[in-house]
Amino acid sequence: MTLDTLPIIVGVGQVNDRSGDPASGLGPIDLMAAALRAAEGDAGAALIDDADFLGIVQQISFREIRDAREPLATALGIAPATTLQSEGPNGDSPVMLLNEAANRVGAGECRIALLCGAEALRTAAARAAAQEPGRRVDATREAAQRREPSYAQQYGLVAPVDVYPLYENALRASLGQSFAEAQRESGRIWSLFSEVAAANPHAWIRKAVSAAEVVTPSENNRPIAFPYNKLMVANSSVNQGAAFIVTSVGEARRRGISEDRWIYIGNGAAAHEPNSPLQRDRYDHSASMAVSIRKALELNAVRPADLDAVELYSCFPCIPKLARRLIDWPADRPATVFGGLTFGGGPIGNYMSHAVASMADRLRSAGGTGLLFANGGYATHNHSIVVSSRPIAAATFPRSYDFQAEADAQRGPIPPLAREHVGAAAVESYTVLYRRDGSPRAGVVVARTPSGERTLAHVPASEGETLRQLVDPGADPVGRAGTIVAGDPLREWRFA
């Protein structure tokens, strides 16, 4: 490839809408348009009117907007030749769009690509509350509940916050960590996130918190799903938009875009886990995550030691914990450039657009090479890409980012489901779900039968002793024997 054809990010924009009256706040189309105009201003050149590719992260805050492409193009007054909206509001979507744009620009298929996304869940929640006083909006849970309840959902594994603790608890046991050690690691990582957010003018919560504050339940940090508190989960109650503009070196030169705006895009790699969280081979490792991160580095001839900055997706602590071990990233070094989904903000599928923008800012000011690792779904979707303030010699375009076959080959056997098992079993992983007042709502146990099948069991709030054993910091339940007994309507777990 010639230098002129290399794809680069030339403009980034971020918008936070903090209207005094949330119900009158901006909607997602307005946020996307504002972010794109900010990105155009950042580039210092007129780009939007000449764009021939528009890529959008699917939004869910305004359900009536199922496809944002035409409304956004109309708002911008443009008619790009190609438009693309991500298949879902998944956390990997912005990196997928960046990878698509780099391939298309590098192949000469488009000259100027606009990429953006936004969520207005703060506004959506305020409007819903005005119509139904007292109602609280949980967009991801409501979206899942609109579908036919699955076996997992019947037992309480409905939203991502119900599922990711399975990885957290299994990983802790696999690493041989005590509960206190695992929580200290989570607290340290999240405290560093808060410090980055406090220094980032684009972050939603700009207040540093200590590691102890992160892991200690309190009135303002209620337990959500064991072992996660409010300060350890994504904050989606935001109105945020972010955008970035991709073109080629040659096009940037023709348009007089200053070279100090350029961030070179490398090749990316994507792989996915099965959609159902019960169809995973294990909960202490993700083959698709490992392949995504390692292949992205390999394709660009970048070693972990070469990385100057990273964004390791942070919807829940288990994800950056798993990811940092793949690249030997220390727990005492910030794993974000934006501030993490708790503090920077967690606008459903669009967080990584903010990370792309903040990574561009970081590399422009300090130089170097960065890794963007995105995760989405229920620890399902993984997409990684490398960007740099310098040309990446090993990168070539277009290049496929699909490494699913490699991830599938590395994955272990998936245990068959035994939906009606009654009798002896052992804990594979688990969580306890909490009400808003901090009291346990129910426990969920993922168990293995004596023959190795996987099954689920319920722990009702009335089984206080069983719930106490699940959350006992001095005795890890993973691997412990027990019995699944018939219940009405769900089979229940009892420790041996």
Residue 111 per-residue DSSP state? S
The H-assigned helical ranges of 203-248 are 211-215
Summarize pLDDT for 111-126 with one digit per residue, the tens. Answer: 999 999 999 999 999 9
Look up residue 42 and give its two tokens. 């950042």
> pTM of the full predicted structure?
0.96
**Would you say 40 and 46 are in contact if contact means Cβ atoms under 8 Å apart?**
yes
Look up residue 304 and give its two tokens. 């972990």
Supply the Cα-derived Rg of the chain in whole angstroms.
23
The whole-number pLDDT of residue 137 equals 56
**Would you say 183 and 215 are in contact if contact means Cβ atoms under 8 Å apart?**
yes
**Would you say 118 and 236 are in contact if contact means Cβ atoms under 8 Å apart?**
no
Instruction: Give me the domains of the chain, ranges plus CATH numbers.
Output: 3-123+236-410 (3.40.47.10), 423-495 (2.40.50.840)
H/E element holding 447? strand 440-448
**pLDDT beneath 70: ranges in the chain:** 134-148
The whole-number pLDDT of residue 262 equals 98
The whole-number pLDDT of residue 132 equals 77
Summarize pLDDT for 256-265 with one digit per residue, the tens. Answer: 999 999 999 9
Q: What's the mean pLDDT when you consider all of the chain?
A: 96
Pairing of the two strands 381-388 and 263-272: antiparallel
The helices-and-strands tally (H runs, E runs) of the chain is 15, 16
Summarize pLDDT for 400-457 with one digit per residue, the tens. Answer: 999 999 999 999 999 999 999 999 999 999 999 999 999 999 999 999 999 999 999 9
Helix (H, G, I), strand (E, B) or coil at 469: helix
Q: What share of the chain is helix, strand, coil (3-state, %, to 5)?
A: 40, 25, 40
The interaxial angle of helices 179-198 and 318-326, nearest 10 deg, is 90
